[in-house]
């Protein structure tokens, strides 16, 4: 990695091509000078990830697009600065690793493991303000922008929070790298956690057979003398929505190997449903960086839109470059997805199709909590698989909002969380996440779908 893309004026660099275009969902920073000072400081900081790592992930996602691997992306809706603790990071990672082992066995292909982690601090919102008891304030837009407390002071966007976002991301990545390479992620250990889950889960009996098969497979590999080192470490990548463009562009660096710009805020970044305007700043910025990228596609996406995204974001048809993260909702996926897949395939374009079964299934519980039904989440994944089966294309992976904690934010699942339980541990600052046991339930149920392919 060498120096930053620095010159904001007239160079055709990543920096100045997006900045003239309309950018959706940007905070109204009250002090432009303070923002510039923060951006300059961020530009002097080391990259959080390296271009070579992003390239390796691109290769892995190319395998996903070919149907030779499965992608698991998961983590918080909105990471928080207060949530950067060893316990919380470990619990999230543990949940993802447990899910990955089950999915790997069932899919019989490698599972590419990606966290919504170490950068998921910025949130697009449906409304730019929030009103409580007659008082209206700016909406909370994530810890990178403003505070969650409902006070005028907390809700003012503060660019210095972008520096904290960098630091929080760096600390998180540091720990994630330590956990995933230092022995914590040992597959035998992860499998033992799964056995505990199966033994203690209300739906455990249903999963017992699969857990026993995994156990026998591990014993077989050990008996064959598989190198224990291969069990000990895992490849793990960090992803987030590339939303706040001054931050993303300040962390864009030119790779000294290739002379190409990369977002170094995370290995993988995606464009959200609310910022995928083809003529907007986000699509422009993403078209310039060389990372593997995703774009969320909601139910209003037309087949021609999908082709236009391919032309703008992956004109060279680089394997692994682009994933379509489909978030139609359980009621729409069977109706809307086939036309997109057929059109893209008709053009001979190989993208990774990923199912986000969360964002199209949010509703308000009688208590006023934003929630999701576990059964809707599962049904959207089922619909996604059915469509791909029907068309002979590859269901490439899932992208879920989850936590390693026993929160009560989504209803249903093996432990049957009810509307009345939502008060108990509703901790998300934005959208409801699957808790630890619901996440594992989902992994075992998706494993059954993968086996029945
Ligand atoms: O995570 C996604 C979005 O930020 C979220 O769904 C928007 O939520 P809102 O409708 O409460 O603004
Ligand atoms: C905002 C998100 O999703 P979407 O853009 O699909 O609404 C998200 O994944 O955090």
**104, 437, 446, 185: CA torsion to nearest 10:** -10
Q: Hey, what domains does the chain have and what are their CATH numbers?
A: 14-185+233-451 (3.20.20.70)
For ligand 1, is residue 296 a contact (CB within 6 Å)?
A: no
Nearest ligand atom owner, CA of 141: 1
Name which of 182-191, 264-273, 331-340 the model is least confident about: 182-191
Say whether pLDDT at 441 is over 90. Answer: yes
When pLDDT is cut at 50, 70 and 90, the band that residue 12 belongs to is: very low
Ligand of minimum distance to the alpha carbon of 125: 1
What is the widest separation between alpha-carbon atoms in the chain?
68
Residue of 139, 297, 298, 359 best suited for mutating to test ligand 2, as the one with most atoms within 8 Å of CB: 359
Tens-place pLDDT, residues 425-434: 999 999 999 9
The ipTM assigned to this model is: 0.98
User: To 10 degrees, what angle do helices 86-107 and 187-200 make?
Assistant: 90
The closest residue, in CA terms, to atom 6 on ligand 2 is: 273
* Distance between Cα 431 and ligand 1 center (Å): 6
What confidence tier does 4 reach under pLDDT thresholds 50, 70, 90? very low
Indicate which atom in ligand 1 lies nearest the CA of residue 370: 11
Q: Rounded mean pLDDT of 10-37?
A: 86
| 124 CA: nearest ligand 2 atom | 1
pLDDT at 13: 64
By mean pLDDT, which of 229-243, 254-268, 280-294, 382-396 is the weakest? 229-243
- Give yes or no for residue 9 having a pLDDT over 60: no
Residue whose structure tokens are 């966290």: 115
Which burial class, exposed, middle or buried, applies to 129 when counting CB atoms under 10 A from its CB (0-12, 13-18, 19+)? exposed
Measured between alpha carbons, how far is 93 from 114 in angstroms, rounded to an integer?
Answer: 10
Mean pLDDT of the 203-226 span = 87
What is the phi/psi pair of residue 232, to 5°? -80, -30
* pLDDT of amino acid 5: 35
CA distance 437 to 93: 14
**For residue range 347-374, what is the model confidence (pLDDT) as tens digits?**
999 999 999 999 999 999 999 999 999 9
The answer on pLDDT for 10 being more than 50 is: no
* 400 pLDDT more than 50: yes
pLDDT at 363: 98
Which residue, judged by its Cα, is nearest atom 7 of ligand 2?
Answer: 273
| Angle of CA points 425, 428, 431, to nearest 5° | 125
Which residue puts its alpha carbon closest to atom 10 of ligand 1?
126
Expressed in angstroms and rounded, the spacing between residue 290 Cα and the centre of ligand 1 is: 28
Best residue for ligand 1 mutational test, from 79, 123, 363 (most atoms within 8 Å of Cβ): 123
CA of 335 relative to ligand 1 center, distance in Å: 24
Question: Cα separation of 158 and 47, whole Å?
Answer: 22
The partner residues of 191 in beta bridges, in order of sequence, read none
Pocket of ligand 2 contains residue 79 by CB under 6 Å: no
| Closest residue to atom 2 of ligand 2, CA basis | 272
Measure 410 CA to ligand 1 centroid, in angstroms. 15
**76 Cβ inside 6 Å of ligand 2:** no
Burial of 123 (0-12, 13-18, 19+ CB in 10 A): buried
Using pLDDT thresholds of 50, 70 and 90, give the confidence band for residue 15.
low
Work out the mean pLDDT of the chain and round it to a whole number: 94
Q: Which two tokens stand for residue 299?
A: 């139910």
* pLDDT for 226: 79
60 has a pLDDT exceeding 70 = yes
Q: How far apart are CA 38 and CA 112, in angstroms?
A: 34
Lowest mean pLDDT among 227-231, 336-340, 367-371, 438-442: 227-231
* Average pLDDT for 243-262: 96
The dihedral through the CA atoms of 258, 263, 265, 266 has a sign that is negative
- pLDDT for position 228: 73
> Closest ligand 1 atom, CA of 431?
1
- Global pTM reads 0.95
Q: Best of 24, 142, 272, 276 to mutate for ligand 2, by most ligand atoms within 8 A of CB?
A: 272
90: exposed, middle or buried (Cβ count in 10 Å: 0-12, 13-18, 19+): middle
Q: What percent of the chain has pLDDT over 70?
A: 97
């Amino acid at each position: 990695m060498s120096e930053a893309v620095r010159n904001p004026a007239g160079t055709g660099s990543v920096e100045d091509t997006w900045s003239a275009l309309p950018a959706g969902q940007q905070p109204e920073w009250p002090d432009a000078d303070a923002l510039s000072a923060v951006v300059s400081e961020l530009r002097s900081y080391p990259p959080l990830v390296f271009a070579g790592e992003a390239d390796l992930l691109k290769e892995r996602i190319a395998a996903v697009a070919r149907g030779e691997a499965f992608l698991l992306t998961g983590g918080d809706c909105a990471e928080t600065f207060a949530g950067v603790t060893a316990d919380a990071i470990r619990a999230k990672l543990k949940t993802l690793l447990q899910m990955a082992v089950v999915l790997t066995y069932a899919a019989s292909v490698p599972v590419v493991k990606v966290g919504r982690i170490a950068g998921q601090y910025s949130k697009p919102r449906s409304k730019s303000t929030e009103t409580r008891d007659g008082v209206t304030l700016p909406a909370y837009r994530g810890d990178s922008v403003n505070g969650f407390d409902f006070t005028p002071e907390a809700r003012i966007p503060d660019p210095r929070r972008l520096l904290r976002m960098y630091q929080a991301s760096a600390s998180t990545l540091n720990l994630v790298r330590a956990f995933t390479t230092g022995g914590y992620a040992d597959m035998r250990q992860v499998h033992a956690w799964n056995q505990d889950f199966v033994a203690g889960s209300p739906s455990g009996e249903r999963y017992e057979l699969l857990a026993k098969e995994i156990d026998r497979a591990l014993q077989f590999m050990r008996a064959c003398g598989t190198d224990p080192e291969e069990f000990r470490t895992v490849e793990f990548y960090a992803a987030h929505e590339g939303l706040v463009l001054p931050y993303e562009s300040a962390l864009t660096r030119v790779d000294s190997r290739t002379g190409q710009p990369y977002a170094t805020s995370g290995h993988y970044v995606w464009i959200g449903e609310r910022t995928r305007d083809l003529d907007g700043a986000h699509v422009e910025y993403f078209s310039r960086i060389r990372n593997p990228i995703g774009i969320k596609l909601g139910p209003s996406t037309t087949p021609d839109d999908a082709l236009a995204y391919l032309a703008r974001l992956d004109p060279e048809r680089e394997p692994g470059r682009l994933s379509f993260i489909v978030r139609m909702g359980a009621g729409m996926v069977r109706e809307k997805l086939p036309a997109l897949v057929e059109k893209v395939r008709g053009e001979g374009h190989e993208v990774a199709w990923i199912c986000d079964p969360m964002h199209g299934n949010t509703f308000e519980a009688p208590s006023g909590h934003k929630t999701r039904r576990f059964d809707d989440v599962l049904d959207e994944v089922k619909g996604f698989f059915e469509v791909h089966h029907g068309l002979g294309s590859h269901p490439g992976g899932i992208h879920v909002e989850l936590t390693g904690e026993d929160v009560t934010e989504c209803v249903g699942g093996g432990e049957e969380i009810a509307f009345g339980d939502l008060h108990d541990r509703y901790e998300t600052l934005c959208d409801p996440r699957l808790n630890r046991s619901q996440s594992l339930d989902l992994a075992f149920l998706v494993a059954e779908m993968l086996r029945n392919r």
